[in-house]
Structure 1
Amino acid sequence: MVQASFGKDLESANGSKESSNAIEESTTKKEIWYEWIRNRLRYYMILELLFSICLVLILWKLCHISSQISSIHSEFQYFKLDIESNRVSKPTDTINLDGGNKKLEEFVEQVIKDIKNPSIENNEKSKEYPKQTTPTKDNSSSNNSVFHINAASLILGATVDSSRSSNSDNNPSIGRDQSGYVLIDRSDPPSDKAWCSNEENPILTIDLAKYITPISVSYQHSKWSGIVSDGAPRRYDVLACLDYYCNSLEPLVSNCEYRATGDNKQEQSCSIPFNQNHSSIGKVQFHFRQNHGNVMKTCAHTIRVYGETKEVPKVKEMTLKQAETCSELTYDYHHNPWTYNIFDYKNCTVLYSNDCCTECPECCDECVIEDINTGTFAFWFGFMIVVPILIFAIGFIFITTVLLFIAAGIGLFEIAKLQIGCLFRKRKQST
């Protein structure tokens, strides 16, 4: 009897000991997993988490700055024109537009003559190209001097507002905006440099170089004889934008017609009736109603908006710096085409504003509104370096985070597995 009781006690003690060992073993494994996960979270994920947070903040800040820059750029023209309209101009009767330093002029002419490329033919040299617009002064009023200018001139600072114009071949979704061809004041516009749109009644919006009192508008197509080319505007209206976004419009002239004439007149004008409300116009829209040939695509080559202003862009004689710029571009065009095409600043504004067309007519014939130069090359080179690094960093962070979550999940699964095993063993022992 005593022996049987002793056997039961011994068996109970052994069972308790085994249960205690199993629980202790389970607790030890659990503590190991907890310690491993804690170490991973503490020592390995802190750097990745901080880097991820910093990267997200940087990207958010860049997007915010980009949107601010875009907003500021869109408003800048409006404020600029608004300031100019409110500025009180001083009489400029004493300005001598034909003056200049004779010695400097002679020196510049000598420099140009020495550096000119002899391979350029003389007949190309004599080809007409527009120079900086020289305003005509109207002294009908003794108190205020009024100047007549073409305010839709790229050289003076006019631009095409592509966001408020119809879709154009010159402004692709991916690429450079070349819409400004229509604002280059050329005596003979080339046939391949125009603003074109496939819309039925396209709209062209122009930010003028100055606030003006409009007098007339004109259109000129590439050279034709007898019959105007298909696609050229035939009938169009011109409206003034009374606000920057052109939500409020005021008609200036309606039903202007560009047609074939007996004398093949290339530039044809429409006079704008005087209206006291039109004393300060800084933005206009051309609404093209019909084109020649009734074809799908309408192409406008050169438009002009003539008007009166009390402030006129300064017109100066060619400086030594301008002469050097033209000489360098001419030399690179003929001798270093690789440098000219990739690194030189050679857009139409640079060439025409520096009066380089006489020295390098080919440069002006081939110029574009937005060119490839050192700035764009550096931007794309930096973009090609930075973007792969960002992609690699984001991918590394993402993969590391996923692996850590997988490891944590496996650890939690093992812990849960151990706990379930302990519960089963306890139930077996209790039964």
Structure 2
Amino acid sequence: MDKTSFERDSESAYGSEVSSNATFKLQKDRFQIEESTTKKEIWYEWIRNRLRHYMILELLFSICLVLILWKQYHISSQNDKTIELISSIQSEFRNFKLDIESNRASKPTDFNENTGNKKLEELVEEVMKDIKNPSIERNQKSKEYPKQVIPNEVNSSPNNSVFLINAASLILGATVDSSRSSNSDNNPFFGRDQSGYVLIDRSNPPSDKAWCSNEENPILTIDLAKYIRPISVSYQHSKWSGIVPDGAPSRYDVLACLDYYCNNLEPLATNCEYKATSDNKKEQFCSIPFNKNHSSIGKIQFHFRQNHGNVMKTCAHSIRVYGETKEVPKVKERTLKQAETCSELTYDYHHKSWTYNMLDYKNCTILYSNDCCTECPECCDECLIQDTNWSTIGNSCLILISILLALFVGLIIYCAVQEAIEDANEMIRLKNELK
């Protein structure tokens, strides 16, 4: 009986142990399910809290708003260019109509339909070129270019189809290639490039508007406005009397770039000299010998070998490159729009200095091409090659906002990652404690 009772107790204990193991296993599985569900809820709650805590949705909305404003500004600028193009087309058609009427009045028998169609085709071709080349300034044709005065030293070509121009004129489109020129004070690492002062064709260059370099034997590279056959070059320093100021070039060479990068150079004129004369002549010329291979030169380098006073800094005030070309910009009468532009700039300069200095478009190209120097000589004396206007301020603000947003997003991501790491470590610690 004792044996039977012992067996029953053993079976009962074994059954209890099995039941206990089953219950523990069931509870463990249930805990794992609850733990898995709880983990998902924790991550969901954490993501939701992070989104609300760091206002990520508001941040994304702000970024989209900035992008929309930038796109609207871009579309607005394109609309302005389109309006200018349409105005230019209308002006060309009006001029074309006047030409037809004048031709009919003067030569009624010679004018025929074919002539009118030919002129119309030429006009349409010019307009299509403007449309296909949006990078070219739309109102280039309506600008009034200053007449290039060709001195007596430059011989006129007997061929009537060839014109003499100063191809190194900023107004005609010449630029300084700063990447292939010596380091200049006018092209700082932080700031805007003002190297184009040397290309402004003016009778009395101001002393504080020049291309200056501290390098020994500096090089100035110029992209000419037109491909020309160079005839002569000239240099003019700011106003002086008796003695040429220190730093002015005294000897220089002129070389033609045979390729865009100026890896292949060919001398045009050597040992050109700028010196004091008895008549204090400011603009002095250096002739370029005729060479049939120089029929199409578009880029020129000036190598300054020596300056007056043998000082460290060499400053060039006004450089001109005279040459023959078959294409010359048309000199047109001053338009009403140009007169209005000059009047507005003159008024702002004298009465709204903040508006003039910060918002108006008043770079040297605009002032000289619109012939504003007679009405506002101070504007031309103080003009910059690249000025500050509402467009540059708007671009600067957009860049600043973009940088701040990028930093803010980076900070949010960093904080979120750090908190995620801390929460993950905390969950691992709790899980280990439960085990």
Structure 2 length-normalised TM: 0.70
Between the aligned partners of 2:430 and 2:270, the Cα distance in structure 1 is 82
SS at match of 2:284: strand
Instruction: Name which of 249, 259, 264 aligns with 1:243.
Output: 259
Instruction: Name which of 366, 374, 385 aligns with 2:390.
Output: 374
Q: How does 1:122-141 map to 2 (within 5 A)?
A: 132-134=146-148, 138=156, 140-141=158-159
Match of 1:301 in 2: 317
Between the aligned partners of 2:273 and 2:149, the Cα distance in structure 1 is 27
For the structure 1 residues 17 and 383, does the alpha-carbon distance in structure 2 shift closer, same or farther, using more than 3 Å as the test?
same
Does 2:43 correspond to 1:27?
no
Does 2:193 correspond to 1:177?
yes
> Which residue identity is paired with 1:140?
P
Between the aligned partners of 1:15 and 1:367, the Cα distance in structure 2 is 95
CA contact (8 A) 2:145 2:172 kept: no
Q: How does 1:387-426 map to 2 (within 5 A)?
A: 387-412=403-428, 414-415=430-431, 417=432, 422=435
Instruction: Name which of 204, 219, 222 aligns with 1:188.
Output: 204
Match of 2:331 in 1: 315
Between the aligned partners of 1:40 and 1:236, the Cα distance in structure 2 is 76
Match of 1:364 in 2: 380
Instruction: Name which of 350, 366, 372 aligns with 1:334.
Output: 350
Cα deviations across residues 14-33 of structure 1 (Å, max 9, x unaligned)? 86368547734752564245
Match of 2:240 in 1: 224
Cα deviations across residues 148-200 of structure 1 (Å, max 9, x unaligned)? 11100111111111111111111111111110000011111111000111111
Between the aligned partners of 1:9 and 1:340, the Cα distance in structure 2 is 100
Comparing 355-364 with 208-217, greater Cα deviation is found at 355-364
SS at match of 1:196: strand
How far off its partner does 1:319 sit? 1.6
Does 2:283 correspond to 1:267?
yes
Between the aligned partners of 1:157 and 1:201, the Cα distance in structure 2 is 27
Residue-pair matches, total: 344
Instruction: Name which of 287, 299, 304 aligns with 2:303.
Output: 287
CA contact (8 A) 2:346 2:376 kept: yes
Cα deviations across residues 243-297 of structure 1 (Å, max 9, x unaligned)? 1111211111112121222222211111111111110001111111111112111
CA contact (8 A) 2:148 2:166 kept: no
Between the aligned partners of 1:367 and 1:313, the Cα distance in structure 2 is 23
Between the aligned partners of 1:41 and 1:252, the Cα distance in structure 2 is 75
Between the aligned partners of 2:232 and 2:172, the Cα distance in structure 1 is 18
How far off its partner does 1:238 sit? 1.1
Does 2:160 correspond to 1:155?
no
> Which residue identity is paired with 1:335?
H
> Which residue identity is paired with 1:133?
K
For the structure 1 residues 235 and 135, does the alpha-carbon distance in structure 2 shift closer, same or farther, using more than 3 Å as the test?
closer
For the structure 1 residues 135 and 230, does the alpha-carbon distance in structure 2 shift closer, same or farther, using more than 3 Å as the test?
closer
Structure 1 length-normalised TM: 0.71
Cα deviations across residues 64-106 of structure 1 (Å, max 9, x unaligned)? xxxxxxxxxxxxxxxxxxxxxxxxxxxxxxx9xxxxxxxxxxx
Between the aligned partners of 1:347 and 1:368, the Cα distance in structure 2 is 5
Between the aligned partners of 1:11 and 1:156, the Cα distance in structure 2 is 105
For the structure 1 residues 312 and 153, does the alpha-carbon distance in structure 2 shift closer, same or farther, using more than 3 Å as the test?
same
CA contact (8 A) 1:135 1:312 kept: no
CA contact (8 A) 2:145 2:330 kept: no
CA contact (8 A) 1:227 1:260 kept: yes
SS at match of 1:287: strand
CA contact (8 A) 2:211 2:316 kept: yes
Q: How does 1:19-98 map to 2 (within 5 A)?
A: 19-20=24-25, 23-24=28-29, 27-28=32-33, 30-32=35-37, 34-36=39-41, 39=44
Match of 2:362 in 1: 346
> Which residue identity is paired with 1:391?
L
How far off its partner does 1:349 sit? 0.8
Match of 1:105 in 2: none
For the structure 1 residues 205 and 327, does the alpha-carbon distance in structure 2 shift closer, same or farther, using more than 3 Å as the test?
same
Match of 2:226 in 1: 210
> Which residue identity is paired with 1:411?
M
* More RCO (CA 8 Å, sep 6+): 1
> Which residue identity is paired with 1:336?
K
> Which residue identity is paired with 2:147?
T
CA contact (8 A) 1:231 1:295 kept: yes
Between the aligned partners of 1:23 and 1:35, the Cα distance in structure 2 is 18
For the structure 1 residues 344 and 25, does the alpha-carbon distance in structure 2 shift closer, same or farther, using more than 3 Å as the test?
same
How far off its partner does 1:378 sit? 2.1
CA contact (8 A) 1:329 1:344 kept: yes
Gaps in structure 1 of 5+ consecutive residues: 63-94, 96-129, 423-431
Between the aligned partners of 1:13 and 1:173, the Cα distance in structure 2 is 83
How far off its partner does 1:10 sit? 7.3
CA contact (8 A) 1:155 1:184 kept: yes
> Which residue identity is paired with 2:419?
L
Cα deviations across residues 327-357 of structure 1 (Å, max 9, x unaligned)? 1111111112122111211111111111111
How far off its partner does 1:12 sit? 4.1
Between the aligned partners of 1:12 and 1:205, the Cα distance in structure 2 is 97
> Which residue identity is paired with 2:255?
L
CA contact (8 A) 2:213 2:315 kept: yes
Does 2:270 correspond to 1:254?
yes
SS at match of 1:226: coil
Instruction: Name which of 2, 17, 21 aligns with 1:16.
Output: 21
Cα deviations across residues 35-71 of structure 1 (Å, max 9, x unaligned)? 346646997899989x99xx9xxx9xx9xxxxxxxxx
The CA RMSD over aligned residues, in Å, is 3.4
